[in-house]
Amino acid sequence: MYTFNLRDIDPASIKLSLLDSQHGGLSCDIDQAHMSCDIAEMEFETHNQAPLIDEDSHTVFANLQGSDHESKNKSKTFVAVFYLDDTEYAARFVKAFRHAIALCGGKPSTF
């Protein structure tokens, strides 16, 4: 889970990639003829890559026993990723996300 303020996001950093879930999440840029391209990945960064995004993750390893069967982590980062399972909607979501960032005062990085 990510927590961030839209004004801290660099709208120019948003990248949308199409992935194929049937081939282990390979990018559809490699060979689209044999791929389903059914997942969209939207990656974005903060202004000047400042660590302003709170990342909170919780992973459970079902095949492990004891205290090592789960991992909890909290950290600060400058990059986040959203996955969308509707590739047609993904482009519209990116456009709306950029618009929301602009309305909240987000600016491109200086470098």
Does position 29 have pLDDT exceeding 70, yes or no? no
Give domain status of residue 110, yes or no: no
| pLDDT (0 to 100) of residue 70 | 87
Q: Whole-angstrom Cα distance, residue 38 to residue 27?
A: 11
Q: Whole-angstrom Cα distance, residue 60 to residue 64?
A: 9
pTM: 0.81
Instruction: Quote the domain boundaries for residue 21.
Output: 2-61+68-103
Give domain status of residue 108, yes or no: no
Cβ within 8 Å of residue 4, ≥6 positions away: 46, 52, 53, 54, 80
Give domain status of residue 111, yes or no: no
Per the structure, the count of domains in the chain is: 1
Nearest CA to 53 among 16, 17, 9, 13? 9
E strand intervals along the chain: 2-3, 15-20, 26-27, 39-45, 53-60, 70-77, 79-84
Give domain status of residue 10, yes or no: yes
Give domain status of residue 89, yes or no: yes
pLDDT top residue among 15 and 30: 15
